[in-house]
Structure 1
């Protein structure tokens, strides 16, 4: 369990599976910002349990975000290339009524710290698209820097968007001493 201010990152209990699934599929506005150019297919409850929920319960590369005593989203990481120690982190707040409150920013602080504390690497990256300015802002507000922009490589609803690469190094992260 990881804490920062009013945010808790933790493994969900088995009894929370249905509620988290219902949140994820009842307010699918998050799919408009979480790489919509890849397409989204609502998982069945069984698919959710075997993939997403199982990964959250393992607690290694994903945890649930708790805010005000309820689960509202997830933080994750994946290896872009484990051999070269290239890791990418991510965050999703499923409840769109909570967007714009700084919850994502606060959830990134313990998550990125946890990644640096448990993984042998020098950089944590995040990749998003120019159609998700809140993600870019949250990452920058905790110390990530835009490292690159791949212009007009994400095509969605008849519009070209940029892919935005952000990153923070271990030294940069720890020199900020838990950014606010």
Structure 2
């Protein structure tokens, strides 16, 4: 469990399975900004329980985000290439009422700090697209560096967008992140 005031990152509870499934596959307002050019593949409740929900329950590669006692999203990480220790992070905040409150920034700071402490990594990455300016501002405000821009590779609603790769090195992260955040993940 990772905590920053009224924000908590934790494992999912069994009773939250249906709520999470609904937020991800039915009430998916979040998908409008989270790679909308890639169709969301519907998962049955059983498949969800055996895959993403299992990850959220285990807490190794995904955690739910609770804000003021409400489940508002989740964080994840995945190996782009485990043999070279290339780890990527992702975040989903379900509803627009929670966007623009810096919840994503606060949650990602805890998550990235936790992952750097957990794994022997030189770098952590985050990929987004130019159609998500909030995620771009979030990454930049957290000190992630824009390392790559693949121009016009995302086609959505009749327009081309760029794919953006951000990253932060371990030494950069620990030199800039607040001691309070580091204390929270110890």
Task: Give the TM-score, by structure 1 length.
Answer: 0.94
User: Aligned partners of 2:40 and 2:12: how far apart in 1?
Assistant: 24
Query: Which is further off, 17-26 or 157-166?
Result: 17-26
Q: 1:66 touches 1:73 (CA, 8 Å); kept in 2?
A: yes
Cα deviation digits, residues 6-44 of structure 1 (max 9, x gap): 211100110111222233344312112111222113322
> Per-residue displacement from partner, 1:76-133 (whole Å, max 9, x unpaired)?
0100001111111010001221111110011011100011000111100000100111
Is residue 86 of structure 1 aligned with residue 117 of structure 2? no
Instruction: Report what 1:118 is aligned to.
Output: 118
Distance, in Å, in 1 between the alignment partners of 2:42 and 2:100 is 25
Once residues 54 and 65 of structure 2 are traced to their aligned partners in structure 1, the CA distance between those partners, rounded to angstroms, is: 15
* Residue aligned with 1:76, SS: strand
* Alignment: residue pair count: 180
Q: Please, what TM-score do these two structures have when normalized by structure 2?
A: 0.91
The answer for the alignment partner of 2:147 in structure 1 is 147
1:107 aligns with 2:131: no
Cα distance in 1 for partners of 2:73, 2:177 equals: 25
- Counterpart-to-counterpart distance in 1, 2:152 and 2:27: 28
The yes-or-no answer on 1:173 pairing with 2:165 is no
Per-residue deviation, residues 43-62 of structure 1 (Å, max 9, x unmatched) = 22222212211110111110
Shift of 1:153: 0.7
1:168 aligned counterpart, secondary structure: strand
Residue 39 of structure 1 is matched in structure 2 by 39
CA contact (8 A) 1:27 1:96 kept: no
5+ residue gaps, structure 1: none
Note the C-alpha offset of 1:140.
1.2
**Matches of 2:134 and 2:91, distance apart in 1:** 11
Helix, strand or coil: the match of 1:164?
A: strand
C-alpha spacing 1:5/1:158, structure 2 compared with 1 (3 Å): same
- What's 1:69 paired with? 69
